[in-house]
Amino acid sequence: MKIDSNVFRVGPGEIIDLNERSTRVKPFGKTEKRYKTILKKHVKELSSLQRLHYASNRYALLVIFQGMDASGKDGAIRHVMSGISPQGCQVSSFKAPSAEELQHDFLWRTTKRLPERGQIGIFNRSYYEEVLIVRVHPEMLRNEGFPDELLDEKSIWTERYRSITDFEEHLHRNGTQVVKIFLHLSKDEQAKRFRERIDMPEKNWKFGPDDIQERHHWDHYQKAYQACLNSTSTEHAPWYVVPADNKENARLVVSQILLDTLRGQKMEYPKSSLKRRKELDSLRSDL
């Protein structure tokens, strides 16, 4: 079954309702063997495209993963990017901001981790946390040191959306492609995965009281994500809503999105000039 990544893309100006977006779709690989075959094929082509991306050194690619706890961000990154050379890819995870980071604007700490040309940068969570978890917990704004006149909760989210879209447009104008993936998980599936983390000793470290506390805000998070997706999906920095209840299926969709993105770049291996060829031929004679 062919995967059409555009099915999952949020178009510019499109208003979506997450309640109407399924968290589960028909499996693209009907068996475990078929899933592994498709993923292996995707990973192999991604590896080839990444080498071309690195060699051409024309673009940077920033891939942002967002999603509720246990939505499969780590697993998607680990499996989909398994064939990518570490030389051309860097993964950055963002937890709660440090005291130093809180002294700067909310884009500062992630800007330092942006990929260079020829590189693929992956953000496991990102500056979008500032319009997600901070929106669900607006008391966090008070810790960010804002002057009172800038701390208007009626307008601050719209202003932050504008800052983000302006920033991503700036990146596009300077050769960085931005792709944003929201792993859309159901509440029931999250509960199932949390129980697995409790029941399996090797996964205990991935679960704690904070996970339960955040789960109590599920509906607020869904509203925050929906508002974010509707406000910040643009032509040059689109959001993709990927059904995440089936981890294997989600990984196939994510890999297809990245394949389509890299295929769309105008890339080629550097061509040798006549002068360079003569230099190489001269060096060959010294071997």
Residue 118 reports pLDDT greater than 80:
yes
Decide: 157 and 135 in contact? Cβ < 8 Å.
Answer: yes
Residue 1 reports pLDDT greater than 70:
no
Residue 157 reports pLDDT greater than 70:
yes
The whole-angstrom separation of Cα 64 and Cα 87 is 19
Q: List, for residues 52-99, the tens digit of each pLDDT value.
A: 999 999 999 999 999 999 999 999 999 999 989 888 999 999 999 999
pLDDT: is 125 or 148 the higher one?
125
CATH class of 5-284: alpha beta
Quickly count: other Cβ atoms within 10 Å of residue 74's Cβ: 14
**Beta-sheet pairing, 120-124 with 176-184:** unpaired
The whole-angstrom separation of Cα 264 and Cα 134 is 35
Q: List, for residues 125-135, the tens digit of each pLDDT value.
A: 999 999 999 99
Q: List, for residues 239-270, the tens digit of each pLDDT value.
A: 999 999 999 999 999 999 999 999 999 888 98
pLDDT recorded at residue 148: 77
pLDDT recorded at residue 257: 98
pLDDT band with cut points at 50, 70 and 90 for residue 142: confident
Q: List, for residues 180-213, the tens digit of each pLDDT value.
A: 999 999 999 999 999 999 999 999 999 999 999 9
pLDDT: is 71 or 275 the higher one?
71
- The ranges assigned to domains in the chain are 5-284
pLDDT: is 226 or 151 the higher one?
226
Torsion of CA 140, 144, 145, 151, to 10 degrees: -60
Q: What angle do CA 135, 137, 139 make, to 5 degrees?
A: 110
pLDDT recorded at residue 141: 87
Percent of the chain with pLDDT over 90: 83
Structure token digits, residue 201: 């000793």
The whole-angstrom separation of Cα 36 and Cα 21 is 26
Residue 228 reports pLDDT greater than 90:
yes
pLDDT recorded at residue 30: 80
pLDDT recorded at residue 225: 98
Mean pLDDT (the chain) is 94
